[in-house]
Amino acid sequence: MPAYTTREELLELATTFRDAAAEDLKRAETAGDVHAVTLRAHARLNELETQLFAGHRVCVDCKAGCGTCCHLGKIDARAHEIFALADWITRNFSSEERNAVLQRAQAHAAAVAPLTLEAHLRTVRACPLLRAMSCSAHPARPGVCRIGHSTDVRICERAFQNPNDLTAKGGSHAVSKLAMTVASDGTSFAFIETGLDKTAYDLGSALAEALSDPSAQERWLAGERAFSKSAVAKQEAS
Ligand code: SF4
C-alpha cells in the first residue's frame, strides 16, 4: 500500500475513488441504485481505513459505546450521503424510531440555525442519531464519521469538557485522516460531476428535511439544491 504522504499518491487516491463512484453512477437507474453507490463508496472508505491503520501501525483508541465525538461541534455531509442515510433509516427503522429521529433532527435544526460558525463549533450537542452513546445508523453514517478517529480518547474527553477551547480537538492520525478525507472528496466529486448538488450541509438539519420532505430528493436528483438555506453548513468566509 502507498504511504499516502505525497501529493501524487493523494491525487491518485482521489482519482481512484472518483472513478469507482463515477463508474457505479453510470449504471444507477433508480434513487435506490444511487444510494447503493454511496454505501459502496462508504465500504471502500472503510477498506482504506483498515489498510491505513495497519500500514502506519495506528493504535486507535475509539471503542463501541464511546460516542464522545458525536457530540462535538459541526458535523457536515454532502447531499448524496444524507439521502443514502435517510433511505437506510426508512428501510431499517420502525416508523416510531424513524419519527423519533425526525423529531430529534428537527430540534437540532432549530437549535443550531441561529448560531454563528464560531458558536456552532463550540457547541456540545448529541447528534440526532446517537442512542445510548452509539450510532443508531452506523452502517450508513456519512464519510465524516468514518474519517474521524482518535488515537487518544483523553483528547476527545478534554474537547467534550472544554467546548470553548477549540484547540482541544484533534487526536486523529494525521496522515490517515488526510488520506481518508481526500478519498471521500474523490467520491463526492463523482456525484458533483454528474451535475448533483455540491453544497455541504449540516447533517442534523439536512436529515430533518430529507426525512420530512419527499420533494427534497426529487429536487436533488433533478440537479437542484437539495436542502434549504438554513441547512447549509456554516463555513469560513472564503
Ligand atoms: S451519524 Fe452516527 S457516527 Fe455520525 S455523528 Fe451521528 S451518531 Fe455519530
Report DSSP state, residue 167.
G
C-alpha cell at 17: 475513488
**CA-to-CA dists, residue 116 to 150, 164, 207, angstroms:** 27, 14, 20
Record the cell numbers describing residue 133, joined without a space.
452513546
Three cell numbers written together for 170: 484533534
C-alpha cell at 231: 441547512
Backbone angles phi, psi at 216, to 5 degrees: -60, -45
203-214 per-residue burial string, b: 16 or more CB within 10 A, e: under 16: bbbbbbbbbeee
| CA angle centred on 67, ends 64 and 69, rounded to 5° | 125
Judge whether 85 and 176 are in contact, CB under 8 Å.
no
- In 3D space, the residue among 23, 42, 49, 22 whose CA is nearest the CA of residue 85 turns out to be 42
In short, whether 85's Cβ falls inside 6 Å of ligand 1 is no
Q: Do 205 and 105 contact (CB within 8 A), yes or no? A: yes
129 lines ligand 1 (CB under 6 A): yes
User: What is the 42 CA–ligand 1 centroid distance (Å)?
Assistant: 14
Testing ligand 1's pocket by substitution, the residue of 81, 89, 127, 156 carrying the most ligand atoms inside 8 A of its CB is: 127
pLDDT at residue number 21: 98
pTM strictly above 0.85: yes
CB of 75 within 6 A of ligand 1: the answer is: yes
Using a 6 Å cutoff on CB, does residue 156 contact ligand 1?
no
In contact, 125 and 111? CB cutoff 8 Å: yes
User: Ligand 1 centroid to 87 CA: how many Å?
Assistant: 16
Would you state the pLDDT for residue 238? Answer: 60
Pocket of ligand 1 contains residue 182 by CB under 6 Å:
no
pLDDT at 142: 98
Regions in the chain scoring below 50 on pLDDT: none
Q: Which residues pair with 232 in a beta bridge?
A: 201
> What are the tens digits of pLDDT across the range 188-229?
999 999 999 999 999 999 999 999 999 999 999 999 999 999
pLDDT for residue 109: 97
Nearest CA to ligand 1 atom 4: 145
Residue holding cell 471521500?
184
Q: Assign residue 171 a region: left if phi > 0, alpha if psi is -120 to 50, beta otherwise?
A: left
pLDDT computed for residue 111 by the predictor: 96
